[in-house]
Structure 1
Amino acid sequence: MAEIAAGAVPSPNIWNSPQVYEIENRAVDPDGLLEAALRRIRPWAGATVLDLGCGTGFHLPMFAREAARVIGVEPHSALAAAAARRVRDLANVAVRVGAAQAIPLPDASVDVVHARWAYFFGPGCEPGLAELRRVIRRGGAAMIIDNDATRSTFGGWFRRWLPRYDPAAVEAFWARQGFSREPVLIRWAFGSREDLAEVLRIEFPAELAEAFLAEHDGCEVDYAVNIWWRRY
């Protein structure tokens, strides 16, 4: 049984179905809009990059191509082991088990933090934000990717799943923490309807997943996200 770092917020989609989540990762943003936006905010050539909540390490090779050093931190030990296997041939990448509230790194040791749909969902994530302040060097930046529930097909699905979610309150929280918002409209592009169906079933309750699948044609979904970011 996998060990879980203390304090970790469960991620049922990837924790329970990592193979399906891999299909989702491959479908996200085939146009590279998110990577381009991240580069505009804080390039990572020659930097030390922390991918916080790295899961199976899908994004680690992207950072490793230019960064001096990349560290993936993941609270789920089995996923961290999968991430380590993914990057075993990359000399500048290491993977550690740990949670956002207790990052296993020294003070002022990283230049760029990337967190994608992992832990930082607004109010309640203050312990993790305190850890970011501790580990990021002066001149570094944190870039946190989360859903934009105010627009897009996926945003509409998200609101139907969580009708009490308050995007304005989330934005106000990030503003109080000194973060700026970079909105990006990406898309999912799946190879088949079967792949889309599998991913919907790990992201939403069964009844909603089937309803969304019935309402939506094709293998692509427009998907709005926010990058919440700040420099330190």
Structure 2
Amino acid sequence: MSESTPSSGTPATSDPVATAPVPSAPVPTRSPNIWDSPDVYEVENLGVDRAGVIEAAMDALHPFAGADLVDVGCGTGFHLPRFVELGCASVVGVEPHPPLLEVAADRVAGLPRVRVEEGVAQSLPLPDDSVDIAHARWAYFVGAGCEPGLAELERVLRHGGTAFVIDNDATTSTFGHWFSRAYPTYDALAVERFWGRQGWSRERLTIRWDFDSRADLEAVVGIEFPETAAEGILAEHEGTGVDYAVNLWWRLF
């Protein structure tokens, strides 16, 4: 999923008043997997966690029924109808990339209690104290640098609300080993320490990547890993699925 990071401000003109440093609006960080290959990313979404392990863990911590929910970095809105099915009172998807936002809007057109808004994690288009659950899955919140987005979650969540961030656990599982090998600079311990400093807790979950065909698996591996790494993964792994460890980071506000 795509999200955003802050950018520094630049003067607009040579006018002495205008040249005073001012912050510019946050801009989206490019997410090549979904931005460049939304159709393949849709296949990936369909194959991730078909058993609903993540949903069940979230619901145990904060029930969906009757909750107002925001999906930060909703991409094409894949999860929005599901949150309605799970009983949320209202669902808002926030996405910064207009082509994805358009697909999300088409996906939820005519559905009750759900809408999409253009926006970034560090400037959510929501009032203070307006949601009970915040959900971000493989989006902007991956460690140091996402503090502005975390501050926004604190602003929009009501007292007693819960924020959830789903990200890879690169320390275990077949997928995790692929990830750590393909991205050797990813420091899982540093990420863990970051969330601890922010006062978040973790549920370690094991889900599945399961696809309908080998061709689907190959296509998804191709958008998630660099070319050389993807070739190595596919050469060593047979079949159409794999075990996949994730971290469900969460905090009660």
- Normalised by the length of structure 1, the TM-score is 0.96
Aligned-pair CA distance for 1:7: 2.5
Q: Is the 8 A contact 1:7 1:101 kept in 2?
A: no
2:101 is aligned with 1:84: no
Paired residue type of 2:29: V
CA distance in 2, matches of 1:71, 1:28: 22
Matched, 1:27 2:47: yes
Shift of 1:55: 0.5
State the identity %.
60
**Structure 1 segments (4+ residues) deviating >3 Å:** none
Matches within 5 A, 1:1-232: 6-65=26-85, 66-232=87-253
Amino acid at match of 1:12: P
Task: Report the Cα offset of residue 33 of structure 1.
Answer: 0.8
Deviates more, 1:136-145 or 1:154-163: 154-163
TM-score normalised by L of structure 2 = 0.89
1:9 Cα deviation from its structure 2 partner: 2.0
User: Per-residue deviation at 1:210?
Assistant: 1.1
Give 1:199 shift. Answer: 0.4
Alignment coverage as a number of residue pairs: 229
Q: Distance in 1 between matches of 2:223 and 2:171?
A: 22
Q: Which amino acid aligns with 1:43?
A: P
Assess if the C-alpha contact under 8 Å between 1:186 and 1:223 holds in 2. Answer: yes
Partners in 2 of 1:40 and 1:24 — Cα distance? 25
Task: Quote the offset at 1:213 in angstroms.
Answer: 0.6
Structure 1: segments with no counterpart, 5+ residues: none
Amino acid corresponding to residue 6 of structure 1 in structure 2: P
Listed as ranges, the gaps of 5+ residues in structure 2 are: 5-24
